Amino acid sequence: MERTKLLTFAVVGLILLNLATIGFLVFSPGGGPHSGRPNGPHGREEPARIIIARLRFDPNQQQAYQKLIEEHRRQGNRLAEQMKQLHQQYYGLLAATTTDLARQTALSQQIADNQKAQAELNFRHFEQIKALCRPDQQADFRALAADLSGLFGRPQPPRPGAGGPPENFPHRP
């Protein structure tokens, strides 16, 4: 009987702990991925919210900006899909018995061209945002432009060890 009571208390305790964890995740700042809060991936604020706030866009500017965002995403998604296909082809060359150096070089150049197109797309997007700004917002845009790489640069995942292989790759002597 004593063992049954102990197991019952343990199960009830674990259920309460699970409920407390779920409550913490739902009600804590930042919430979950679908909480509707302004944080994007990696706990960072979404770029659109940052730009709207820092440039003090009025409702008309926000509406025009949303149209720019939709077009930018459409073009960015197209480039990202091309990049995915290029990388699949590129690393697919490793499955062959011998490496086709001409194909490897061609794919490597296509990957570089795609990255260049992505950078140019982003640059044009910010030029369009700049064109939306009124004269009294230009100083805010210049301040935003100075911070772009820090605000919107891709976060690098933490490295598991100083100079060592990632954890999911075994060490080879």
pLDDT for position 122: 93
3-state secondary structure of 164: coil
Alpha helices in the chain (DSSP H): 2-27, 47-55, 59-92, 101-132, 138-152
H or E stretch covering 38:
none
Which residues lie across from 45 on neighbouring strands?
39
pLDDT for position 170: 52
Contacts of 93 (CB under 8 A, 6+ apart): 99, 100, 103, 104, 107
Q: What single-letter DSSP state applies at residue 136?
A: G
Residue 133: which of 78, 46, 33, 56 has the closest Cα?
56
Per residue of the chain (173 residues), give pLDDT as tens: 688 888 787 888 778 777 777 776 766 555 444 344 444 444 445 888 989 999 999 999 999 999 999 999 999 999 999 999 999 999 999 999 998 999 999 999 999 999 999 999 999 999 999 999 999 999 999 999 988 877 766 554 554 554 555 554 455 55
CATH fold, domain 43-148, is Four Helix Bundle (Hemerythrin (Met), subunit A) (1.20.120)
pLDDT for position 35: 40
Helices 138-152 and 101-132: crossing angle in degrees, nearest 10, is: 150
DSSP string, 48-89: HHHHHHHHT--HHHHHHHHHHHHHHHHHHHHHHHHHHHHHHH
Distance of alpha carbon 58 from alpha carbon 133, whole angstroms: 10
Q: What is the biggest distance separating any 2 CA atoms in the chain, rounded to whole angstroms?
A: 79
The angle at the Cα of 58, spanning 53 to 61, to the nearest 5 degrees, equals 95
